[in-house]
Amino acid sequence: MKYVLKGLLMITAVVFSITVSAKNYKILVFAKTAGFHHESIRAGLPAIQKLGIENNFAVDTTTNSALFTAVNLKQYAAVVFLNTTGDVLNDQQQTAFEQYIRGGGGFVGVHAASDTEYGWPWYGRLVGAYFVNHPKQQVATLNVTDRKSIATRHLPEKWTRKDEWYNFKDIQPDLKVLVTLDEHTYTGGINGDAHPMAWYRDFEGGRSFYTGLGHVDDSYTDPLFLKHLLGGIQYAMRQKRIN
């Protein structure tokens, strides 16, 4: 009987621990650059911290890839790659991040997150596509094709704004696209009528959300963009359902 009671207490403790951790949402915002450095990172970091304060989740920020260990990543409900570029993680750090996602972790990629880790095919599948090139910054119109998600329900069906419009390669076939870019409204697009610009999906046990927006500083004071980004974060860290 003593062993039975001990076992029950251990099970209860485990359940309690899971319940508590589910309520304590925390994300890591990773902004390391090994290629082009986006000046808007300076605006993006405090903007995401403010979103956390307003929406009941904690935010750690770093450019230190050494934090990508199995032990450290366990404390985060999601990791945001904020305008990362180039080769930012070594082999051991990549393995730890793969294990984190497969263990149910969340990923949010912002803009140049798709201009990151070209030599790591798993990452390309996680983010959903790789950056190829972009024309000059200009005003264009976005088609919000799914207006039922927490990342898009507040957006107009036609969303016109200025940003740096990425062209993509290796676009994954299973993306759940939320927003497409109307190539008829600007010059320099190469992805056609179904040019994806924001998407999400479950991925190998975790969750992945990406938005190609977020190059310009003004994004991080734009309520429409910030609510779009917030919805992606909340989905990735399982704080809310996507629909």
| pLDDT single digits (tens) 15-41 | 322 222 444 799 999 999 999 999 999
Determine the pLDDT at residue 24.
Answer: 74
Phi, psi dihedral angles at 154 (to 5 degrees): -90, -10
Amino acid at 123: Y
Determine the pLDDT at residue 227.
Answer: 98
Q: What's the whole-number mean pLDDT along residues 174-198?
A: 98
Question: Does residue 124 belong to any structural domain of this protein?
Answer: yes
Confidence of residue 176 (pLDDT cuts 50, 70, 90): very high
Number of H helices, E strands in the chain: 6, 11
Question: Does residue 243 belong to any structural domain of this protein?
Answer: no
Query: Is the overall model pTM greater than 0.75, yes or no?
Result: yes
How many separate domains does the chain show? 1
Structure tokens at 179: 């927003």
Question: Does residue 242 belong to any structural domain of this protein?
Answer: no
Q: What's the whole-number mean pLDDT along residues 163-185?
A: 98
Mean pLDDT in the chain?
92
Query: What is residue 135's three-state secondary structure?
Result: coil
Residue 154 has pLDDT above 70, yes or no: yes
Looking up residue 152, the CATH number of its domain turns out to be: 3.40.50.880
Structure tokens at 140: 């264009």
**What percentage of the chain has pLDDT greater than the value 90?**
90
C-alpha R_g of the chain: 19
- Percentages helix, strand, coil for the chain, rounded to the nearest 5? 35, 25, 35
Q: What residues make up the domain containing 172?
A: 2-236
Q: What's the whole-number mean pLDDT along residues 142-163?
A: 98
Determine the pLDDT at residue 2.
Answer: 38
Question: Does residue 241 belong to any structural domain of this protein?
Answer: no
Listed range (5-14, 118-127, 143-152) with the worst mean pLDDT: 5-14
Nearest one of 204, 189, 236 to 81, comparing CA atoms = 236
Question: Does residue 207 belong to any structural domain of this protein?
Answer: yes
Q: What's the whole-number mean pLDDT along residues 97-108?
A: 98
Question: Does residue 201 belong to any structural domain of this protein?
Answer: yes
Question: Does residue 114 belong to any structural domain of this protein?
Answer: yes
Confidence of residue 52 (pLDDT cuts 50, 70, 90): very high
- Cα 238 from Cα 30, distance rounded (Å): 19
Question: Does residue 208 belong to any structural domain of this protein?
Answer: yes
- Cβ pair 159, 142 in contact under 8 A: yes
